[in-house]
């Protein structure tokens, strides 16, 4: 047998052995991945679990804005046990908006949409993060998309008075439009008729978008609201 | 040299972005292109200069569309859409609803208007344009609202000129003809609204 052939054969055998060993490693990694996927699934379920209302949450008459015809929303009063914590309260009313329309015609948010997160920053900015179906299953159109945005913003402003403006995210990301028309790159005004909230000082403005849902909104102070903090002030 | 306004027509969507799509296969992107071509013919007949953000099955970005509107000194921007909802044969006009500005990071009270806020100074003129267009539409298309609606329509946001969006109902029609037959009368109404907003010369008022 020529020497070259021997060497080639040797390399080949080594390669096969290495391949067999790494195959087992690969298998192990694949099972490991499968396991971590199921724990992702668990984490997702935890995040999406409805806000559990505690005994201290009083049942109150709550206005939820569902569709009343194809071009407008109207309030329906339902009794819900709501938290006094604004961020939790916002989450509770949005979950009711998704889950409990009385009729199919009233529905504004596609049924398999999940509220992935809801936060209120100290400056009154509410951030609502919805899963993909909100974007993918809302009928495309200026009118149909605006009804969805109206139902979210009206429901929030009638139940969370400290929220001043709303940012809608899809799967944690800022997107151009809801379903091809309505702009989601900006903010929607909430409670714009009431007095402007004072801007939080930098030291209290520490909560990042990923902060836990317990971020406290500042109490509306009756004193010292500088003109520069009015909602319409330029960027 | 031809002075006077340039009417920029913006048929929404295009290419892989079909826009609204009905069960009978009606695609928003196709209807709006027919609508835009009919409206261009109508406006040119009245003596207006017209530019289109697309005249084929392409899909320019929102910025590219706005840039065409911003390229002329005296432009009027009309974005065209077909809805998924609403009574078939009705039409609605929208002007941009300005959301409250995000809280300024630090003392930016005299900052210049940014590209994404280009529509902000034109809201009032856009509302007037929308009102005139909607008056024409409500006369012609029974069941349409009497007044325009402020909505944050993405394609209007960066336009530094009077800008409106017109949306017709709807792709849900069972027969495409029910929608395509609207194109002519729609074009006529929108052209009258634009002419009422920005008349060019006394001789060009010979409306049918």
pLDDT at A22: 86
The order of strands in the sheet holding A165-170 is A115-120, A125-130, A165-170, A188-189
Q: Which residue has the higher pLDDT, B118 or A45?
A: B118
Q: Which helix (H) or strand (E) covers residue B68, if one does?
A: helix B62-70
Per-residue pLDDT at B131 exceeds 50: yes
pLDDT at A222: 39
CA distance B71 to B6: 10
* Residues forming beta bridges with residue A59, ordered by sequence position: A81
Contact A145, A178 (CB under 8 A): yes
How close is the nearest chain A Cα to the Cα of B135, in Å? 18
Q: Would you say residue B107 lies in a domain?
A: no
- Distance from the first to the final alpha carbon of chain A: 81
Q: What's the rounded mean pLDDT across residues A201-211?
A: 40
Average pLDDT value over all residues in chain B: 91
Judged by CB atoms closer than 8 Å, whether chains meet at B83 and A144 is answered as: yes
Per-residue pLDDT at B205 exceeds 80: no
Judged by CB atoms closer than 8 Å, whether chains meet at A228 and B152 is answered as: no
CA-wise closest residue to A129 among A184, A167, A87:
A167
- Per-residue pLDDT band for A53 (boundaries 50, 70, 90) equals low
- By residue count, chain B amounts to 208
- Per-residue pLDDT band for A193 (boundaries 50, 70, 90) equals low
Per-residue pLDDT at A190 exceeds 80: yes
With a CB cutoff of 8 Å and minimum separation 6, the contacts of B178 are B88, B89
Q: Is B129 on the interface with A (CB under 8 A)?
A: no
Per-residue pLDDT at B40 exceeds 80: yes
Q: Would you say residue B197 lies in a domain?
A: yes
Q: Would you say residue B1 lies in a domain?
A: no
Judged by CB atoms closer than 8 Å, whether chains meet at B62 and A142 is answered as: no
Output the domain CATH number for residue B118. Answer: 3.40.630.40
CA-wise closest residue to B71 among B57, B87, B52, B95:
B52
Scanning the structure block, which residue is given the tokens 């979950």?
Answer: A95
Contact A175, A183 (CB under 8 A): no
pLDDT at A28: 84
The residues in B 25-44 lying below 8 A from A, measured between CB atoms, are 28
**Contacts with B155 from chain A: Cβ below 8 Å:** 181
CB atoms near residue A115 (< 10 Å): 24
Q: Is B23 on the interface with A (CB under 8 A)?
A: no
pLDDT at A151: 97
Alpha helices in A57-193 (DSSP H): 86-99, 133-137, 142-159
Instruction: Kindly list the domain boundaries of chain A, sorted by start residue.
Output: 59-213
pLDDT at A3: 87
Establish whether this prediction's ipTM goes over 0.95.
no
**Contacts with A125 from chain B: Cβ below 8 Å:** 102-103
pLDDT at A218: 40
pLDDT digits (tens, 9 = 90+) for A109-158: 999 999 999 999 999 999 999 999 999 999 999 999 999 999 999 999 99
Nearest C-alpha in A relative to B87: A70
Which sign, positive or negative, has the C-alpha torsion B20, B128, B53, B184? positive
- Per-residue pLDDT band for B113 (boundaries 50, 70, 90) equals confident
Judged by CB atoms closer than 8 Å, whether chains meet at B154 and A176 is answered as: yes
**Contacts with B165 from chain A: Cβ below 8 Å:** 142, 181
Q: Could you give the percent of chain A with pLDDT greater than 70?
A: 71
Q: To 5 degrees, how large is the angle CA B141–CA B150–CA A78?
A: 100
Q: Would you say residue B192 lies in a domain?
A: yes
CA-wise closest residue to B26 among B181, B185, B170, B183:
B170
For the whole model, what pTM was predicted?
0.77
Quote the number of domains for chain B: 1
> Which domain, by its residues, includes B189?
6-102+112-205
CA distance B36 to B109: 40
**Contacts with A143 from chain B: Cβ below 8 Å:** 83-86, 92, 167, 169
Average pLDDT value over all residues in chain A: 80
- Per-residue pLDDT band for A70 (boundaries 50, 70, 90) equals confident
**Contacts with B28 from chain A: Cβ below 8 Å:** 140
pLDDT at A56: 63
Judged by CB atoms closer than 8 Å, whether chains meet at B12 and A231 is answered as: no
Q: Which residue has the higher pLDDT, A18 or B113?
A: A18
Least reliable range by pLDDT among A27-41, A213-227, B107-121? A213-227
Q: Which helix (H) or strand (E) covers residue B39, if one does?
A: helix B28-45
Q: Which of B19, B94, B155 is facing A140, going by the closest CB pair?
A: B19
Q: Would you say residue B174 lies in a domain?
A: yes
């Amino acid at each position: 047998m020529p020497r070259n052939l021997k060497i080639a054969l040797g390399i080949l055998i080594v390669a096969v052995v290495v391949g067999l060993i790494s195959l087992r490693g690969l298998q192990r990694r694949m099972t490991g991945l499968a396991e971590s996927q199921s724990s992702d699934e668990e984490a997702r379920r935890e995040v999406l679990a409805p806000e559990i209302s505690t005994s201290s949450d009083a049942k109150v008459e709550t206005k939820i804005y569902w569709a009343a015809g194809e071009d407008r929303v109207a309030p329906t009063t339902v009794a819900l046990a709501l938290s006094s914590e604004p961020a939790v309260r916002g989450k509770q009313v949005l979950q009711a908006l998704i889950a409990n329309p009385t009729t199919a015609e009233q529905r504004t948010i596609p049924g398999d949409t999940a509220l992935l997160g809801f936060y209120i920053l100290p400056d009154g900015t509410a951030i609502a993060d919805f899963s993909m179906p909100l974007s993918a299953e809302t009928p495309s159109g200026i009118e149909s998309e605006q009804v969805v945005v109206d139902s979210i913003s009206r429901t929030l402003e009638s139940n969370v008075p400290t929220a001043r403006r709303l940012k809608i995210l899809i799967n944690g990301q800022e997107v151009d439009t809801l379903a091809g028309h309505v702009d989601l790159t900006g903010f929607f005004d909430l409670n714009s008729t009431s007095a402007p909230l004072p801007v939080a000082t930098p030291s209290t403005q520490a909560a990042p978008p990923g902060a836990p849902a317990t971020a406290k909104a500042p109490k509306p102070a009756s004193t010292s609201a500088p003109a520069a903090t009015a909602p319409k002030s330029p960027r | 040299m031809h002075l006077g306004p340039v009417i920029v027509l913006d048929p929404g969507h295009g290419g892989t972005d079909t826009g609204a799509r009905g069960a009978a296969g009606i695609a928003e992107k196709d209807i709006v292109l027919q609508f835009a071509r009919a409206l261009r013919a109508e406006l040119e007949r009245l003596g207006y200069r017209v530019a289109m953000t697309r005249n084929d099955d392409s899909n320019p970005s929102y910025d590219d569309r706005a840039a065409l509107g911003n390229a002329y000194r005296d432009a009027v921007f009309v974005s065209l859409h077909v809805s998924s909802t609403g009574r078939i044969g009705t039409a609605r006009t929208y002007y941009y609803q300005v959301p409250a500005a995000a809280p300024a990071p630090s003392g930016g009270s005299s900052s210049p208007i940014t590209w994404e806020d280009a529509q902000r100074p034109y809201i009032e003129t856009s509302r007037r344009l929308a009102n005139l267009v909607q008056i024409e539409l409500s006369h012609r298309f029974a069941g349409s609202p009497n007044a325009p609606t402020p909505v944050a329509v993405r394609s209007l946001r960066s336009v530094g000129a009077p800008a409106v969006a017109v949306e017709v109902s709807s792709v849900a029609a069972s027969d495409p003809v029910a929608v395509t037959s609207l194109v002519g009368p729609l074009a006529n109404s929108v052209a009258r609204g634009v002419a009422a907003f920005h008349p060019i010369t006394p001789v060009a008022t010979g409306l049918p």
